[in-house]
Amino acid sequence: MADHSTEFQTATRLTHAGRKGKRHHGPVNPPLVRASTMLFPDCASLQEAYGTRRVYGRHGNETTHALEQALCAAEGAAACLLTPSGLSAITTTLLALLKSGDHLLMTDSAYDPTRHFCDNMLKQMGVETTYYDPLAGADIAALIRPNTKVIFVESPGSLTFEVQDIPAIAAAAHAAGAVVVSDSTWATPVGWKSFELGVDVSIHAATKYIVGHSDALMGAILTNPALEAPIRDTYKQLGLAIGGDDAALALRGLRTMAARLAVHRESAMRVAEWLAAQPEVAEVLYPPMPGAQGHEIWKRDFDPKYACGLMGARFHDDICRQQVAALIDSTDLFGIGFSWGGYESLILPTDPSRVRNHRAAQWTAPMIRLHVGLECVEDLISDLQQGFDALREQARLARAA
């Protein structure tokens, strides 16, 4: 199949990228390759393979290469590196771009394990991290130092869903010679044009919407041309690799991601609007919903067709955590578990205030995070109603005590 990746719409690219099209006589899907050792017919062929990715299975095979090509086509990246988890994609990138004496600007809304890596391993390496207000926008320029090498963004932010002004942050970063690294998992590779907005490296926990079925762990590092070489060198030195089985699962998920996201988006909007109407809820954190925090920037920078199903809700201060626990425990369809992006709905209690340097007081009230899956949305709302009934009963008993 010729490379028409810039001509086709998103759903078409996801269906065809990484496949050979009419040049291929055989199965629709690329073959599943499981391989460590690669054989060569003679010494000349072995010599020719040195320095290439064909020399050993750790450097990939037909299945992993097909996934890399498909992800590059989806987001417009120059190169893709696949890692065993989303966290390993983040840590590999930061290790590649930072050295002792460097300074990192990290969004205060980052994924908690990202913070742990900054506060421990990077600190031990002599890299200083400053956590900045995710709503800083162009004002981040005042925090950039001569040794600031990376500005890390996550938009919407983990747990609190702040939408960052990425073009303004990128302009400030690039003017100072720094690069912008993004945890783009919420957006997915099709939810925004990350590289056009100024991102230099876009990272995904492919475990989420790319795999889409909660049955494989994987990370993806998508880079611009300038940063491929240093990141790939670090990747190789760390000995990172994924197997063909997981790559095949991710390819399967990628083919249907656009269609799944459309359902996630529609159902999540219904759930968000229902939650906003509940008197116990002070705020629904879902940027695609009109009136939600960050909606205007989200509308400017994101593709509304591919909003995902992850959101948060903050309760009023008079709701206690035991009442929220009763809500969660009383649902049947919302599973209690970490991760998100699969076909199933999930719910968790959250407490962002414990890991925030900026505006922590804003997040001290009880909160929940919900992933709205592919179930019938009427059933999901009925399930949440059951949970809220339990919350209200707990509140009634507390008042009566």
121's tokens = 């391993």
Whether 204 and 189 have beta carbons less than 8 Å apart is answered as yes
* DSSP string computed for 220-272: EEEE-HHHHHHHHHHHHHTT----HHHHHHHHHHHHTHHHHHHHHHHHHHHHH
CA distance linking residue 141 with residue 334, whole number of Å: 42
Cα gap 188→264, rounded to integer Å = 12
Cα distance between residue 327 and residue 255, in whole Å: 35
Determine which one of 58, 236, 305, 359 is catalytic. 58
d(CA 220, CA 210): 10
Among 345, 267, 274, 346, which residue's Cα sits nearest to residue 307?
A: 267
Find the catalytic residue in 13, 19, 149, 208: 208
**Of 192, 235, 208, which is closest to residue 82 (Cα–Cα)?**
235
Q: Where are the beta strands (DSSP E) in 37-99?
A: 79-83
Report whether 86 contacts 202 (CB < 8 A): no
Q: Which candidate in 13, 108, 111, 246 is catalytic?
A: 111
Residue 22 a catalytic site member: no
> Residue with structure tokens 């959250």?
350
Is 208 catalytic? The answer is: yes
131 counts as catalytic: no
Residue bearing tokens 């063909």: 244
Amino acid letter at 353? S
Task: Compute the 3-state secondary structure of the chain and give helix, strand, coil in percent, each to the nearest 5.
Answer: 45, 15, 40
Task: Assess contact for 157 and 133: CB atoms under 8 A.
Answer: no
Mapped onto helix, strand or coil, the DSSP state of residue 104 is strand
Distance CA 178, CA 163 (A): 21
Provide the 3-class DSSP secondary structure of residue 283.
strand
Count CB atoms within 10 A of the CB of residue 49. Answer: 14
Catalytic position from the list 102, 108, 183, 301: 183
Helix axes 257-276, 244-255, angle to 10 degrees: 70
Residue 183 designated active-site = yes
Could you give the residue numbers annotated as active site?
58, 111, 183, 208
